[in-house]
Amino acid sequence: MITEKLKTDRENYAGTVARAAEILKNGGTAAIPTETVYGLAASACDAEAVKKIFAAKGRPQDNPLIVHISNMEMLKRVACDIPESAIRCAEKFWPGPLTMIFKRTGYTADSVSAGLDTVAVRMPNHKTALDIIEKADLPLAAPSANTSGSPSPTTALHVQADLDGKIDAIVYDGECAVGVESTVISFCCEPPRILRPGAVTPEQLREIIPDVTVDKAVLSKPRDDERVASPGMKYKHYAPKTDCFLVEGESDAFAEFVNGQKNAVAVCFFEESDGIKIHKLIYGKKSDESTLAHELFAVLRKVDRSGADKAYIHAPSKKGVGLAVYNRLIRAAGFKVIKL
């Protein structure tokens, strides 16, 4: 299959939105930008189109997809039993990096929810994405546009590296501002529970839902026989091919530890990089977790290009969006943590 390359510079923008919407309405697949990561979109109402997403990504069939909407009327089409607290979250965080899980109506294909009676919904804060959804007038199922298990794509070139020739189109639209996937919260339990951390933090959600909880799978490895609330949490995920380790400790101890390693690459903070004498990749500022989120997946892709046998990644704090970065890294490292 030849993947159409659609540009979003000023003279091509309207044509790209119209073409992407046409492909999606006709049951095709298109990678689209969002503020979190690039998504691989297809009509959420078309079971055949949804099958193409799972096939292109090599995604396990039991891992449900997030439905992307552009207005509140679409939310009512796809979900029901929406509590008042969720409406307040929508008012505060939408459009934005928050996915909310509700009981589903049956408007979307069963395969989108991987057989569950719930549906995950998000309104992305990205003009191109919103314009495409609006033009197609369809809720779009859109998981991250990467090969399943590999680091998520934060540029169209990352998408191209994984999916060129496997999907109908890629919309080229620069870097994603946030860099990690949305926060996922379920309203199908009482109290509501955060299943995946993202840029909307537990602290922010607590202002609207004081008793919100954080699922234990966020920071720990589920047992093989354990049923996890969010099926995506059980897979080794976001992982480069290089053997990765998450390293916890102060900057001096981290530098001393990695400087003694051979054939290794260190993934470190800007503030400590001078002390690191082996091959290093800087993934942002220790003092600003949002910079780490922004670079995280690009750095994990660079780890594989470094040629090193092992990567030692300095663990961020779990504050704010740092929790989301930590959650992705511990999975990239297959839960191998070194405490200094």
The interface region with ligand AMP, picked from 42-50, 214-222, 229-237, 320-328 by CB under 6 A, is 229-237
Does position 144 interact with Mg ion (CB under 5 A)? The reply is yes
The interface region with ligand AMP, picked from 115-123, 156-164, 199-207, 297-305 by CB under 6 A, is 115-123
C-alpha 288/C-alpha 291 separation (Å) is 6
* Pairing verdict, β 79-80 and 66-68: unpaired
- Cβ-based burial of 7 (10 A; exposed 0-12, middle 13-18, buried ≥19): middle
Does position 202 interact with ligand AMP (CB under 6 A)? The reply is no
Least distance (Å) between residue 262 CB and ligand AMP: 35
Does position 119 interact with ligand AMP (CB under 6 A)? The reply is yes
The interface region with ligand AMP, picked from 80-88, 231-239, 279-287, 320-328 by CB under 6 A, is 231-239
Does position 184 interact with ligand AMP (CB under 6 A)? The reply is yes
Hunting for tokens 């997809």 — which residue is that? Answer: 65
Figure out which of the listed residues 3, 43, 108, 113 binds ligand AMP, where binding follows CB under 6 A: 113
Site string for ligand AMP, 137-156 (x = CB under 6 A): ------xx------------
Question: What is each CA distance from 319 to 148, 199, 322, 340, in whole angstroms?
Answer: 28, 11, 5, 20
Structure token pair of residue 22: 């046409």
Does position 230 interact with ligand AMP (CB under 6 A)? The reply is yes
Hunting for tokens 């995506």 — which residue is that? Answer: 232
Site for ligand AMP in 61-100 (CB under 6 A): 63-66
Counting every residue written for the chain, the total comes to 340
Hunting for tokens 């490895």 — which residue is that? Answer: 221
Nearer to ligand AMP, 114 or 282 (CB): 114
How far the first Cα of the chain sits from its last, in Å, is 49
